[in-house]
């Protein structure tokens, strides 16, 4: 199994005005990612509004992603649930569909103790597909401590972590503690703004939101940082930083869908309970992405901003 390194796009799910899934738009987005040189794609993650999709919709999206990307770049398929039985079912689906990895988030809402978390990931690891642990306490209410992650990482088929704790000290602990035992354990940033910092500290890149609209730029940033070209990496980091910040001016993926609609990329509407971006924030999103060199004056007339 090749270690994951680079920039991986946490794909949005484009939707029509009636909240139905735009499958052809999704196919176009996957092709756009591949043509732009992205390192890999991540369907059915948080950015894809997966909690609001039903299984039939998910299956169609998986089939499109696999048909377009399989054999070209790694596919890291979202397979999380706060119910362990369902998570195992989704990990099995990822394996059956031919995904290269399954992304398994910390069980949310239940707030299990460390033993419960360990057993959850153990059950998922036994399916037999490489697992990326997704640590995002801001969404789940539960942080995976480094000692617990080290215990999970010792299980078969645990290939890495998407670190979205926002705590750079914790990320350093993960690298120094787990890498000493398993050099092939991938540590990927879950925050675009920390791609450079984590890569400089020994991380392996990013699972990115911004690369939905700027895959070339985010890939170049990750590549420069991972190759030690920090002059170029810093230049790209600070250029893209306004967009990194604006993408979270409201709940992800609301702002990135707005920016993509401005750019005339298939994004469309949102599905409740996510609501359209506040009107006063539209100009802020445009200006931030303009400063980042992603949007221009022609994109002000991009259409519906969801």
- Residues making up the chain, counted from first to last: 306
Please give the Cα distance from 14 to 22 (Å, whole number).
5
- Maximum distance among all alpha carbons in the chain? 54
Based on the number of CB atoms within 10 Å of its own CB, is 298 exposed (0-12), middle (13-18) or buried (19 or more)?
A: exposed
CB 5 within 8 A of CB 260: no
134 is annotated as an active-site residue = yes
Query: CA–CA separation, 270 vs 259, rounded Å?
Result: 13
Token pair of 65 as six digits: 């992603």
Report helix, strand or coil for 38. coil
Q: Side by side, which strands form the sheet with 6-10?
A: 40-42, 6-10, 205-208, 186-189, 158-163, 131-135, 101-105, 76-78
Tell me the backbone φ, ψ of residue 235, rounded to 5 degrees: -60, -45
Q: Is 28 a catalytic residue?
A: no
Annotated catalytic residue within 26, 90, 101, 134 = 134
Residues near 84 by Cβ (< 8 Å), separated by ≥ 6? 107, 119, 120, 123, 124
Cis amide bond preceding 277, omega within 30: no
Residues 6+ apart with CB under 8 A from 264: 299, 302, 303
CA angle (284, 165, 74) in 5-degree steps:
85
160/189 Cα distance (integer angstroms): 11
Which of 160, 159, 170 minimizes the C-alpha distance to 137? 170
Q: Which of 26, 101, 162, 286 is catalytic?
A: 162
Q: So which residues are the catalytic ones?
A: 134, 162
């Amino acid at each position: 199994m090749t270690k994951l390194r680079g920039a991986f796009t946490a794909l949005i799910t484009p939707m029509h005005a009636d909240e139905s899934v735009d499958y052809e738009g999704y196919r176009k987005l996957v092709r756009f990612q591949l043509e732009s040189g992205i390192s890999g794609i991540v369907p059915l993650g948080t950015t894809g509004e997966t909690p609001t999709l039903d299984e039939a919709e998910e299956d169609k999206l998986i089939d499109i992603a696999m048909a377009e990307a399989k054999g070209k770049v790694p596919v890291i398929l979202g397979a999380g649930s706060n119910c362990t039985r369902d998570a195992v079912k989704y990990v099995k689906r990822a394996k059956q569909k031919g995904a290269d990895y399954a992304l398994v988030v910390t069980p949310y809402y239940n707030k299990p103790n460390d033993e419960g978390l360990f057993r959850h990931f153990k059950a998922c690891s036994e399916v037999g597909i490489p697992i990326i642990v997704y640590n995002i306490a801001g969404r789940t209410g539960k942080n995976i401590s480094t000692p617990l992650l080290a215990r999970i990482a010792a299980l078969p088929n645990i290939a890495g972590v998407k670190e979205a704790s926002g705590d750079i000290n914790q990320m350093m602990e993960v690298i120094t503690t787990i890498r000493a035992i398993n050099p092939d354990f991938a540590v990927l940033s879950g925050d675009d703004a920390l791609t450079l910092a984590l890569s400089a500290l020994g991380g392996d890149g990013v699972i990115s939101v911004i690369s939905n609209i700027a895959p070339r730029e985010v890939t170049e940033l990750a590549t420069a940082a991972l190759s030690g070209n920090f002059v170029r990496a810093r230049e790209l980091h600070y250029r893209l930083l306004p967009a990194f910040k604006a993408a979270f001016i409201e709940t992800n993926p609301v702002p990135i869908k707005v920016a993509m609609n401005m750019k005339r990329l298939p994004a469309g509407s949102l599905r409740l309970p996510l609501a359209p971006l506040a009107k006063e924030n539209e100009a802020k999103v445009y200006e931030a992405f303009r400063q980042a060199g992603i949007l221009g004056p022609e994109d002000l007339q991009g259409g519906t901003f969801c």
